[in-house]
Structure 1
Amino acid sequence: MPTEAPTRTQRTGLIPLLIVGSTVAALVAVGLLTITGADRPALIVVRVLTESAAVVTIGSLLLAAFLVPPQESGTLAAHGYAALRTAGFAALVWTLGAVLSVPFTVAEALGQPVTALLYVKTDEGTQLDLSVLVQVVGLVEQAKAWMITAVVVALLALGCRLVLSWGWTAVLFFVSVFALVPVAVTGHSSGGGSHDVATDSLLYHLIAAALWVGGLIALLAHGRRGGDHLALATTRFSKIALVCWVVMAASGVVNAWVRLPLDQLLSSDYGLLVLGKTIALVVLGVAGYFQRERSVKQVVATGSGRSLLKLAGVEVLLMFVTIGLAAALSRTPPPVEGRVLPSTVELRIGYDLPGAPTLARLLFEWRFSLVFGTVFLALAALYAVGVWRLRKRGDAWPVGRTIAWISGCLTVVFATSSGVGRYAPAMFSVHMEAHMLLSMLAPVLLVLGGPVTLAMRALPTAGKGNPPGPREWVLALVHSRVARALTNPLIALALFVGSFYGLYFSGLFDAALDYHWAHLVMNAHFILVGYTFYWPVIGIDPSPNRLPPLGRLGLLFASIPFHAFFGIVLMSSQTVIGDNFYRSLGLPWVTSQLEDQRLGGGIAWAAGEVPLIVVMVALLVQWARSDSREARRSDRRADADGDADLVAYNAMLRKMSGKD
C-alpha cells in the first residue's frame, strides 16, 4: 500500500487550472471555426474536453511510472499513487468524451443533427431510439475508432483503480499511449494521396504532444502536492519535453507539407491555422525550455515547487491554447484547389508506383518510412553511443556485435523504406520479400548484437538507496513475466510459425490490406515475433528461458518444417489471398494474381535457407566458445587448488584397484 494517503487538496490541486485551460481551449477552437464558417461547436467542445482528459491521463501515468520512484518493494509511493488516481479520474472523462464523440462523428458524416440519430417521433411523442445509430456506426471508420478508444480507456480507468505496483503502472502508461492511435489513423490524414506519410507524422505528433502537455500538467500537480523527488522529476521531464518538442516540430512540418501547398499557407483557413499552431509551438518550445531550466535550478537549490508553479502555469495555459488550435485544425479540411486528383493506386496505398519492380527500382526507388526508418536509425545511433561510452572508459566491446546490430537495423530500414517497402503494399510477392527480411533476417542480426548486455554495461547504475533509472527499467523488462512468457520455447515457436498461417489463411491479411496502420502493425509483429524466437536460440543477451545448446538446435529445427510447408501451400494454392484489393489497383505488369502469389510462396520457401545458415554458424560458434570458456575455468580452478579434482579422482581409482 502507499506510504501516505494523499489528501483531497492534493488530489484536486490543479483542477481549477485544468478547468480554465480546457475552457480556454474550447473557446479558441469554437471561435476560430466560427470565423472560418464551420459549424457543430458542440462537437468541438466535446473534442477539446476529450483531448484534455487524454493528455492528463497520459501525463499522470508518465509521472507515476517514470518520473517519481516507487518504494523499494516495487509498490507505488504516496505521490505516485496520487498521480495514478488522477489518471483514473481523467480516464473516466476521456471515456465519456469518446462515447459522446461516436454520435457526433456519425451525425457529421451523414450531414444530420445528432438528435436525428438519437430520437424518433412517435404518436406518443419524441422517444430515445439508438437503433439508427447502431445501424450506421459501423459504416463510419472514425466512429468505430472512437468506440475502440472508449473500450480501451474504460479498461484503463478500471486498471488505475486496481493496480498498486510500479510494473503494472508502466503497462497502463503504454496502454494509454496506444489509446491515441485508433482515432489518429482514421482522421483526415488517413485518406487521399500521401496518407502513409501523413498518418505516420500525425502519430508522432499526437504522442509527443500528449507526453509534453500531460507531463507538464502532472509535474505541476506533483509540485502542488509537495511531492518527494521533485528535482529528479523536473530534470527527467525537462529532457523528455525537449525531445517531444523536436518531434512535434518535425512531424508537424512533414504533415503540413503533405497536406498544404506552400502557396496556400497564407491564402487558406487551413494554412492560417497551421501557421498559428506553428508559432504557438515555437513560442512554447523556446519559452518552455528556458523556464524549465530555471525551474530545475531553483528546485534543486530550494527543494520547493513554488518556482515551478509560477513559471510553468502560464506554459500550461499556452498549451491549452495550442490544443484549441489543434482541435480547430482537425475540424478544417485541407485545401483542394490546385491539387491533381490522385490515381486509384495513390488513394489505396498513398503514392503512385513508377512501373514494374525491376532490381534497380527495388534497390533505389526509396520512400522513407517515418515509423520504422526513424525508429531503427535512432536505435542504431543509441547503440553506437553505448559502444562509444564503453570504449571511452577503456572497456572493450566485440566489433562483430556492433556489425550485427547495425546490419539488423539497416535491414529493417531497407525492408520498409527501399523499393521493397514501396512495392510491398501493392504486390504479394514483394510483400513476402519484406516479410522474410523483417521476420527471418533482421531479428537474427539484432539478437546477435546483444543490446541488453550493452545497455547493462553502458548505462549507469542507480546505486543503493537511489531512485531506479533507465538501467533498472531495462532490467525489469527483461525479467518481467511478459518477457518470460514470450521467450518460453513453446510460446515463441507457436507465435513464430503460427503467424504465417494465422495471418494469411484466416482472412486477416485480406482485411488489413486497405489500411496503412495495419501494415505498420504487421511489420512490427514480424520483427517482434522473430526477435522473441531467435533470442533464446542464438541471443547474446541472457534469456529468461535459457536453453542448453541441444535445446536451441532442437527449437530451430522444429520450426523448419512449418516454414517450408507454408511456402509449399502458397505455391500450390488455387485461392488468391487479397484478390479484391490487388485487382482494384489495376497494375498492368501483374497479369496474374495467382502467379504473383506463387512467386511469393517460392520466396517464402527459399528465403528461410539464408537465415538458417547464419543461425547454424552462430550456434556452432557459441557452442565452441562455451566449451572453451568452460575449459579455461577448469584450468584456473586447477591452478588455484593444485588440481584437487584430478588428485581425488586418481586416489579413487587406486583405491578401487586395491593399490592404495
Structure 2
Amino acid sequence: MTSSKSAPATAGPLRTRSVVPVVILLAVVAAAVVIPLSGMSTEVALALVGVPDPGVLTTAGLPAVRAMGELLAAVAVGTALFAAFFTPPQKDKTLDVDGYRSQRISSWANIAWAVAAALLIPLTLSDVSGRTFWESLPPDQWIVAINQIDVASSWRWAAVIALVAGIGQRLTLSWRWSVIWLGVSVLSLLPVAATGHASGSTAHDIATNSLIIHLFAAAFYVGGLVAVLAHTMRGGSRVALALRRYSVVATIAIIALGFSGIINALVRLHPADLFSSTYGLLVLAKALLLGLLAVFGLAMRRRIIAKIESKSANAPVDRGTLLRIGLVEAVVMAGTIGLSVSLGRTPPPAPLYVPTRQEALLGFELPGPFSFGTVLGLWRFDLVLGLAAVVLLSLYVWGLVTLHRRGDSWPVGRTVAWAFGCVLLFLTTSSGMGMYMMADFASHMVGHMLISMLVPVLLALGGPLTLALRALPAAGRGNPPGPREWIVEFINNPLSRFLTHPIVASVQFVAGFYIIYFGGFYEALASEHLGHMFMNVHFLISGYLFYWVIIGVDAAPRQFSPLYKLMVLLSSLPFHAFFGIMLMNYKTVLAENWYGGIGLPWIPDLLQSQQVGGGVAWAAGEIPLFIVMLALAWQWYQSDMRDARRGERQADRDDDAELKAYNEMLGEMSRSDRRG
C-alpha cells in the first residue's frame, strides 16, 4: 500500500509496538485500582449472594480482567475512530499510512478485548457458583454458564462482536470499511451494559441507558487519547488537527460521563448514603476524578494545541510534553475505569422499600389503565431516543441559524416537518406512552406505529442532510474528511446505493415486522430492556430509510420518478394491512410469559390486547399514507413545473426550434397525405 502525500516522508515500517507499553501501563493501573477496591466488599457481596468463596483467582481476577477488557475495548474504539476520521484517505479511498497503523492497533485491541470477554465467562461462572476458577474452566462449563447466566451470555456476545471487528479490520484497507468497523467496535460495548447493577435494579431502564452512555463516552475519551498519543509518538502528521478534533470528542465525552454518572447515582443512591456507605464513597471518588479530568485535560490540550500552532501545522509534540500531559491524563482515566469496575462489584445500599413485581420487571410502576390522562400525566425521560430527539432538533436549529447568518433561506415546511418529527419522537418515548409500550401489547403497537410509520415520514420531509451540507464547512484539500465529507460519503457509497433501492428499502421495512413478531424473537426482545430499545431503534431507522427513498427531499444515491415511487408505496401497503390482520387472527399470545408476569390487573385477557394491537397496526397506516400521498403529489407537481421551466428556457435559447421542427413534421405528414 502506498502512502498518501500527507504521510511523513520517512514513515518506515509499521511500529504498532510503540503504543504497547502505554496500554500495558494503563492496564496495570486499572488492575491496581480495581483489585484492592473490589476486595474491600468481596466478603460482603459473597455473603449477600450466599455462595462460598471461589478463591483469589476469581475474586481478584474477575474485576482485574474486566477492567483490562474495558480498557482494551476503549483502545479499540479510539484507534478505530482515529483511522476513520482523523486521517485523510488516499485517492483510491484506502487508508493512508497513519490510518492503517491506527486500524492495526484497533484490530489487535479488539482481538485482545475478545479474549478478555471470553475469559470472563468461566470467571463469572466461578463467581456465581462459588466453585474455583479451574473447576469452571472446562468447555462444557462454558456452555452451562452461557445458557444459565445472563451475565455470561453477555460476555459471549461482547467477545463475538469484538472478534468480528478485529478480524474484519485485518482484512480490509478501505476507508469506508473503517467507519463500519468503528461502529462494530462500539457495538461490542453494548452487552457490557447488561452485566452491572443497572440491569437488575429498580429504575433499571434509566440505569441501563445511562450506563450505555457512560461506557460509550469513556471509550471515546480514553481510546481517543491513546490513539492521539500513539500517533504523536511515532511522528505522525497533522498532530494539531488531530488534537483539535479529539478535544471536541473529549469535551462531549466528559459532559456525557458526568451526566450519565449523576443519573446512575440518583437511581441507586439516597443522598444520605453518599458519605455513609462504601458505594457512596466510591461514587464521590469517581466524581472527583472526572472533575479533575475535565479541568486538567481540556486546559492542557489547549496549551498543547497552541504550542504546536505557534510552530507549524505539522509540528509533532515532543516526548516530554507527551509524557507530562497525555500520559498523566490517560493514567487518571485508567484509574477511573478501575474505580468504575469496582463499583460494579460493590453492593449498593439496600433500597428503602421492597419493590413491587411491576417495578422489578419494568423498573417502574404504572398507575392505571392506558388513557390520554395517564400518557400525558406520566413522564420518564428516555436517555437514548428521547435524548436523540433533543439533539437532532438542536442540530437542526444550529443549521438554520448558520444559514440565516449567511443570508440564505430555508423552506418553512421542512422546518415544521422536522420539528414535529422530533417532538413526536420525544413524546412517544419519554411520556407515559414509552412506559406503557413495555407493559402492554396494544400500547406497544401504538408506539411502534408512531415510531416506524409517522415519525420517519416527518423526519424525511425535513431534509436534514441537505441542511447539513449547506451549513457545514468543507474540510479543505488534503485534510482528513470532516462532517460534511462524511455525509457526502454516506450518500454516495455502494452500501447506501443498495439499501436505497426501492425494492430493498420496502423489503427491509415490511419484513422486519414479520420477522420480529412471527419469527420467534418478540418474547426475547420484549422481556429485556436492551431488546425493547433495539426494537425502537430498528423501527425508526428502517422507517426513515424507506421514506427517505419514497418522499425524502434529501439527495439519494438513486433517483426515481414520483410515479415509480407511488407504485412502490402502493405495492407495500397490502403487506402492512396483512400484518395487522394476521395479528388480529393470531391465536397464540406473543410474549405471554412476559406480559403474564407483569400481570396488569386492567388487562385480564392478553389475547384480546394482542388483537387490539393488530387492529391498531391494520388501521394506523391511514394518517401516514395521507401525508405521504400529499408529499408525493406535491413533488410530482414540482417535477412537472421544473420540466416546464426547463423547456421554456430551452425554447428561449433556440427560438422554439423543437416546436418549429414538430410543426414542420406535422405539415410534411399532411402534404404526404394529400399527395397520396
CA distance in 1, matches of 2:42, 2:470: 59
Q: 1:48-447 to 2 correspondence within 5 Å?
A: 48-118=67-137, 129-302=138-311, 303-306=315-318, 307-336=321-350, 338-447=351-460
SS for the counterpart of 2:18 is: coil
Q: Does structure 1 residue 46 correspond to structure 2 residue 34?
A: no
Partners of 2:23 and 2:524 in 1: CA distance: 41
The match for 2:49 is none
Deviation sequence 1:429-479 (CA, Å, 0-9, x none): 100000100111001101001111111111112344443211110111112
Does 1:17 find its partner at 2:26? no
Amino acid in the other structure paired with 2:443? V
Larger deviation, residues 161-170 vs 89-98: 89-98
* Structure 1 residue 9: Cα displacement: 7.8
Aligned equivalents of 2:75, 2:519: Cα separation in 1 = 39
Partner of 1:619: 632
1:278-324 per-residue CA deviation (whole Å, 9 max, x = no partner) reads 10000011100000111111122221212445421211111111112
Cα 1:321–1:466 shift into 2, 3 Å: closer
State the distance in 2 between where 1:454 and 1:309 align: 42
Contact 2:418/2:461 (8 A) holds in 1: yes
C-alpha deviations, 1:94-128, integer Å up to 9, x for none? 1211111110011111122212223xxxxxxxxxx
Contact between 2:236 and 2:316, CA under 8 Å: does it hold in 1?
no
TM-score calculated relative to the size of structure 1: 0.95
State the percentage of identical aligned residues: 44
Cα distance in 2, alignment partners of residues 395 and 137 from structure 1: 58
**Could you tell me how far apart the structure 2 residues matched to 1:6 and 1:261 are?**
55
The runs of 5 or more residues in structure 1 that have no matched partner are: 119-128
Q: How far apart are the structure 1 equivalents of 2:558 and 2:443?
A: 35
Other-structure match for 1:26: 31
Contact map agreement 1:192 1:342 (CA 8 A) in 2: no
Find the aligned partners of 1:591 and 1:428 in 2 and give their Cα distance. Answer: 13
Whichever residue aligns with residue 399 of structure 1, its letter is V
Give the Cα separation in 1 of the matches to 2:39 and 2:509.
53
Q: Retained in 2: the 8 A contact 1:2–1:75? A: no
Distance in 1 of aligned mates of 2:641 and 2:68: 64
| Whole-Å separation in 2 of the counterparts to 1:204 and 1:98 | 20
Report SS of the residue matched to 2:148.
Answer: coil
Report the equivalent of 1:122: none
Counterparts of 1:346 and 1:487, CA distance in 2: 42
| Contact 2:42–2:346 (CA under 8 A) maintained in structure 1 | no
> What letter corresponds to residue 195 of structure 1 in structure 2?
H
Q: Residue type matched to 1:637 in 2?
A: Q
Asked if the contact 2:123–2:136 (Cα under 8 Å) also holds between the matched residues in 1, the reply is no
Q: Which residue is equivalent to 1:35?
A: 40
Does residue 547 in structure 1 map to residue 574 in structure 2? no
RMSD of the alignment, in Å?
1.7
Equivalent residue letter for 2:203: S
625 and 341 in structure 1: CA distance in 2 versus 1, 3 angstrom threshold: same
8 Å contact kept, 1:295–1:308:
no
User: Secondary structure at the residue paired with 2:410?
Assistant: coil
Check the 8 A contact 2:202/2:363 in 1, yes or no. Answer: yes
Distance in structure 2 (CA, Å) of the matches to 1:603 and 1:453: 34
Alignment of 1:461-610 (within 5 A): 461-610=474-623
Between stretches 83-92 and 280-289, larger displacement belongs to 83-92
Code of the residue aligned with 2:96 in structure 1: it is A
Q: Residue 144 of structure 1 aligns to which amino acid in structure 2?
A: S
Amino acid of the structure 2 residue aligned with 1:312 = G
Q: Deviations over 1:370-414 (max 9, x none)?
A: 100001110011011111111211111000001101111111111
**Offset at residue 167 of structure 1 (A):** 0.6
How far apart in 1 are the matches of 2:593 and 2:39?
A: 43
Q: Give the corresponding residue for 1:123.
A: none
Classify the secondary structure of the residue corresponding to 1:12. helix
| In 2: Cα distance, 1:569 partner to 1:320 partner | 53
The CA distance in 1 between the partners of 2:155 and 2:403, in whole Å, is 47
How far apart in 1 are the matches of 2:145 and 2:31? 28
CA–CA distance in structure 2, aligned partners of residues 48 and 593 of structure 1: 44
CA contact (8 A) 1:2 1:81 kept: no
> Which residue type is aligned with residue 200 of structure 2?
G
| Cα contact 1:188–1:330 (8 A) shared by 2 | yes
Structure 2 gap ranges (5+): 44-55
- Following superposition, the deviation at residue 35 of structure 1 comes to 3.5
Aligned letter for 2:521? L
Equivalent residue, structure 1, for 2:657: 644
| Matches of 1:7 and 1:636, distance apart in 2 | 59
Partners of 2:317 and 2:516 in 1: CA distance: 52
Q: Which deviates further from its counterpart, 152-161 or 235-244? A: 152-161
CA distance in 2, matches of 1:465, 1:264: 55
Alpha-carbon distance in 1 for matches of 2:465, 2:323: 38
Contact kept? 1:2, 1:76, Cα under 8 Å = no
Residues 308/653 of structure 1: CA separation in 2 closer, same or farther (3 Å cut): farther
- 1:67-115 CA-partner distances (Å, limit 9, x unpaired): 1222222111111111111112212221211111110011111122212
Looking at structure 1, the residues matched to 265 and 118 of structure 2 have their Cα atoms a distance apart, in angstroms, of: 29
Query: 1:485-531 CA distances to partner (integer Å, 9 max, x unpaired)?
Result: 22112221111221222111122111212100000100011111111
Deviations 1:111-153 (A, max 9, x none): 22212223xxxxxxxxxx4323423431111111111111111
Q: Decide whether the 8 Å contact of 1:223 with 1:309 is kept in 2.
A: no
1:68–1:232: 8 Å Cα contact kept in structure 2?
no
**Gap change, CA 1:108 and 1:550, over 3 Å in 2:** same
Give the TM-score, by structure 2 length. Answer: 0.93
| Partner AA of 1:31 in structure 2 | P
Bigger Cα displacement from structure 2, 278-287 vs 539-548 = 539-548
The letter of the residue matching 2:29 is: V
